[in-house]
Structure 1
Amino acid sequence: MIPHETIVALATPSGAGAIAVIRLSGADAITIAAEVFESVSGKDISKQKTHTIHLGHIVDGTKVYDQVLLSIFKGPNSYTGENVVEISCHGSVFIQQQIIQLLLRKGAKMAQAGEFTLRAFLNAKLDLSQAEAVADLISSDNEASHQIAMQQMRGGFSNEIAKLREELLNFASLIELELDFAEEDVEFADRTAFYELLTRIEFVLKRLIDSFAVGNVIKNGIPVAIVGEPNVGKSTLLNALLNEERAIVSDIAGTTRDTIEDELVIDGIGFRFIDTAGIRETKDVVESIGIQKTFEKIEQAQLVIYLMDSLKFQVSSSEFVVEIEKIKNKYPLKEILIVANKIDQLNENELQKLHQELETLNLKQIYLSAKQKIGIDELKNQLLSLVNTGALRNNETIVTNTRHYDSLLKALEEIQKVRFGLDNNISSDFMAIDIRQALFHFGEITGQVSNDELLGNIFANFCIGK
């Protein structure tokens, strides 16, 4: 049910600033605004055209609150599909509160989290996947996540799903029609064309499902754990990557007692670097807790950088090899990158010997000096090469939402059941059940199938003014 109350909220971040925007939406938005707004030119804003801006004052009787710019957007040509008024006032917290309280007294009600976007969805201005992309766009903090959110908000993902759903729905109608003429034993749906459609739908669904692995890490940042023995330069490397002093650097082994996290954006992709406590045998209780956390962080990371001291490797290479093999065997599915640090202190022969011994591990390697910042750019390029950004560069649809991923998996399962039914000449009434379920899961993504609980969960994660 579409709500009819006029809602109000602060559309800009809370707190003081140069300018704040207060948004009204609902059938009475313009009427309520007209009661508190006095145009400097004497215009009656209730009679003004849509998409116009007016200079004036917010007043309550003889009391003037602020000089503002008031924008009018008449439904259905607005974000929510309703009448919308936006008041741009000065950013004083006191002024913001006074204007909002005045509008509440005039009949508006305080908006709930995401209620403006919810109304846009209910008024068919956005489908559900586009509405969710609004939240992703607001929270995007790098070029890649911003690009994906924009593509989804423009309807790239939902258009692809809607097209598949429409084609499947057409065949579903023919299958259902066959059930009405079951006694005549006639076929209205061309089985060959239907099989081709199912093959195409299955291909698209698998591509979208596979894209989630990339989309999820792009959206949330790729977690990279930096591990190794104490005092090999993990904190120095982190500082070199971030180009600032964030981790504590000292010559005392075991200085990093806890994990330190920070993010670096490389070519539009976010990486979350986790500097962990050094791995070694220790009787120090606090350091032991830090080492335990190191293994927990490796479990969470998508990529593990094993950082080693090139000088120490010359003395005890077998110990390093055993340690690396231990991590490799413990986490066989993890991408592991060996980074040999302090190469500026090796001669050519020592460097060649190091390279030959590390080659036996069959893992990617980088040689650098974190302190001298030698090889840092090469490391960044290597990190980028581990991310499949081809789909992003080609502007293909990438799934980043867990809810969408779950619905796609369920839809694929139902499509595969329908294909099995075709292959084995199963009765049309059983296939019709599976087709309906597939259509249901498609509809869940775009909001053609929804319920109040689902909508509540989605829009509760929005900010109040959106």
Structure 2
Amino acid sequence: MINTDTIVALATPSGAGAIAVIRLSGEDAIHIASKFFKSVSGKLLEKQKTHTVHLGHIVDDKRLIDEVLLSIFNNPNSYTGEHVVEISCHGSLYIQQEIIQLFLRNGCRMANAGEFTLRAFLNGKLDLSQAEAVADLISSDNEASHQIAMQQMRGGFSSEIAKLREELLNFASLIELELDFAEEDVEFADRTQFKNLVERITFVLKRLIDSFAVGNVIKSGIPIAIVGEPNVGKSTLLNALLNEDRAIVSEIAGTTRDTIEDEISIGGIGFRFIDTAGIRDTKDVVESIGIKKTFEKIEQSQVAIYLFDALKSIESLQQVKIEIEKIKNKYPQKPLLIIANKIDKLNKTQLKILRAEISEVKLLSAKSGLGVEALTDSLLNLINTGALRNNETIVTNSRHYDALLKALEEIQKVKYGLDSGLSGDLMAIDIRQALYHFGEITGEITNDDLLGNIFANFCIGK
């Protein structure tokens, strides 16, 4: 599957800008670039050292296209493991296209999506999980997702898997050796040590599998549904959290007819807040559709915030408690934060009553901002960020998650075989399957269809 032809693509986002970077990779990358690059110092490009930068001009025959900085990276010490040239030119769309078209006419091919990183993987510069982390790093939009992608790209996850795979492979070799001497009834693999290894692998696999719940929401952003009756301040709270007037606020009940979503970063973690239509009985067809969507959004959210008007509800707190119980019963597994809004309008006696009636209530004034910071702290506490703070490996990729589940299933079969004294030939089958699923993660075992699916999601130029 390794292509040796030379590819070219824009490595910076498409569109006009101050500068653009055009990347070439392949056996003839430096040779092709040298035909059209004229150094201001008169140096010959093909005789220059790797990892050097040169000032010059891109010239098509006698036509000057642009003044550029050109960087050289000789194989194997480059991102792709091939000869790589990167040209930093002015960011005019016309200049970008002229340079790319010039190389396409003279021995280069347009790179496919993710082909530079695919070549890095095929040439052994990255394993498959590290290559996938490159895409995650590019798409990271908050501190937490960036941290996870960086840790994985630097090999934290793959090195942990590789170590387990190597130890399991060593025992697998001993088990296979026993099969060759089956008639002599000898044991090369110490069953006690093997059992300890299987238990340790089981522990690590379960920890990695459990981390996916946290990793997935960090990567995708944690959806938070803000629900409650009309005109209790849901839109005002959304605006206070976002620190901008994102939602329309009015005294008229039922102003929000549809869900409004926006995302912010709190403590380095992305939260996607969803302002929903007020829940009430209504004959308004449009508002009814909005209320139906509210329940759909609660279903899809990771956390729900139930907001009520503290002043209006102080005389009818029993009704508030009934509404809270309805949501808890409908979504028993979903964390629910109960927020009393407009507390700045209550006196001390009313506040005391409120706290006594609803012990878990959090007090807030969305209009003045009072209690908003405490709310964001509560949201962070709902997310298990301990692994993130301790720089532990966190799984965010569903392909890895699936392979880990399958590997755990096979390891548990091996454990059962050890406990029940199963013969080595039968255990060897399960061990081979576990090794296969470990190899799927790092790319030691792969196929063209899998690689095509993974790298098709990359941007052109990466």
TM above 0.5: yes
Partner of 1:168: 168
In the alignment, what sits opposite 2:441? 445
Secondary structure in 2 aligned to 1:18?
strand
Aligned counterparts of 1:431 and 1:113: Cα–Cα separation in 2: 42
The Cα of 1:180 is off from its aligned counterpart by 1.2
Q: Quote the residue 2:329 is aligned against.
A: 329
Aligned residue number for residue 407 of structure 2? 411
Counterpart code for 1:285: V
- CA distances 1:255-277 after superposition (whole Å, capped 9, x unpaired): 11111111111111111000011
Provide the TM-score with structure 1 as the length reference.
Answer: 0.98
Measure how far apart 1:449 and its partner are.
0.5
Are 1:436 and 2:432 matched, yes or no?
yes
Shift in Å at residue 434 of structure 1? 0.4
TM alignment of 1:16-31, pairs within 5 A: 16-31=16-31
Tell whether 2:385 aligns with 1:392: no
Which residue number corresponds to residue 372 of structure 1? 368
Q: Distance in 2 between matches of 1:282 and 1:449?
A: 58
Other-structure match for 1:105: 105
1:236 and 1:73 map into 2 onto residues whose CA distance is 54
> In angstroms, what is the RMSD of aligned CA positions?
0.7
- 3-state SS of 2:361 partner: strand
Q: Deviations over 1:264-317 (max 9, x none)?
A: 111111110000111111111111111111111101111000001101211322
**Partner amino acid, structure 2, of 1:33:** A
1:21-420, aligned counterparts within 5 Å?
A: 21-359=21-359, 364-420=360-416
- 1:302-338 per-residue CA deviation (whole Å, 9 max, x = no partner) reads 1000001101211322221111111100000000000
- 1:415-449 per-residue CA deviation (whole Å, 9 max, x = no partner) reads 00000000001111111010000000000000001
Give the Cα–Cα distance (whole angstroms) in 2 for the partners of residues 375 and 314 of structure 1: 19
- Percent identity, aligned pairs only, is 77
- CA distances 1:32-70 after superposition (whole Å, capped 9, x unpaired): 101111111111101111000111110110011000000
Q: CA deviation at 1:232?
A: 0.3
| Amino acid aligned to 2:196 | E
- 1:163-201 CA deviation, whole Å, 9 max, x = no partner? 000000000001111111111111110000000000000
Distance 1:202 1:21 in 2: 46
CA distance in 2: counterparts of 1:252 and 1:450, whole angstroms: 59
- In structure 2, distance between residues paired with 1:33 and 1:254: 64
Q: Distance in 2 between matches of 1:453 and 1:352?
A: 64
Q: Secondary structure at the match of 1:315?
A: coil
Give the letter for the 2:397 counterpart: N
Unaligned runs of 5+ residues in structure 2 are: none
Runs in 1 of length 4+ with deviation above 4 angstroms?
A: none
What letter matches 1:351 in structure 2?
A: L
Normalised to the residue count of structure 2, the TM-score between the two structures is 0.99
Cα distance in 1 for partners of 2:116, 2:335 equals 43
